[in-house]
Amino acid sequence: MTSEPIVTTKYGDVRGRVSGSGVLTFQGIPYAAAPVGPNRFQPPQPPESWSAPRDATEYGPTAPQAEVPEDGPFADLSPRSVVSGDDYLNLNVWTADLGGRSPVMVFVHGGSFTSGSGSISGYDGTRFARDGVVLVTINYRLGADGFLWFGDGIPNLGLLDQIAALTWVRDNISGFGGDPGNVTVFGESAGAMSVCSLLTMPTAEGLFHRAIAESGAGHSTISPATARLVGNRLAALLGVEPTREAIAEVAVPRLIAAQTQLAQEITAKPKTRLWGDVARNLMPFEPIVDGELLPGPPIERIAAGVGAQVEVLIGTNSEEARLFLIPTGAVDKITGLVVQAAAVRYGLPPLRGAARYRANRPGATPGDLLSAIATDWYYWIPALRLAEAHPGTHVYEFAWRSPAFGDKLGACHALELPFVFDNLDDRAFSPFIGENPPQQVADAMHKAWIDFATSGDPGWPAYTAEHRVAMRFDTASAITVDDRADERALWSRRR
Beta bridge partners of 90: 30
**Cα 385 from Cα 54, distance rounded (Å):** 45
- How many other CB atoms sit within 10 Å of the CB of residue 76? 15
Pairing of strands 210-214, 311-317: parallel
In angstroms, rounded to a whole number, what is the distance separating the alpha carbons of residues 162 and 158? 7
| HEC per residue, 244-286 | HHHHHCCCHHHHHHHHHHHHHHHHHCCCHHHHHHHHCCCCCCC
Instruction: Determine the angle formed by the axes of helices 190-198 and 157-172, rounding to 10 degrees.
Output: 70
Q: Tell me how far apart the alpha carbons of residues 114 and 65 are, in angstroms, rounded to a whole number.
A: 6
* Residue 194 C-alpha from the chain's centroid: 7
Catalytically annotated residues: 189, 320, 413
Distance of CA 288 to the CA centre of its chain: 16
Report in angstroms the alpha-carbon separations of 298 from 194, 196, 200, 287, 382.
10, 6, 6, 10, 11
**Residue 444 φ then ψ, to 5°:** -70, -45
Residue type, 445: M
Order across the sheet with 102-108: list the strands: 17-18, 24-30, 90-95, 134-138, 102-108, 178-188, 210-214, 311-317, 394-398, 469-473, 478-481
Q: At what angle do helices 352-359 and 336-346 cross, to 10 degrees?
A: 120
Under a CB-based contact definition with an 8 Å cutoff, are residues 94 and 126 in contact?
Answer: yes
Select from 266, 360, 285, 231 the least CA-distant residue to 116: 285
Distance CA 430, CA 41 (A): 38
Give dist(CA 283, CA 111) in Å, integer: 10
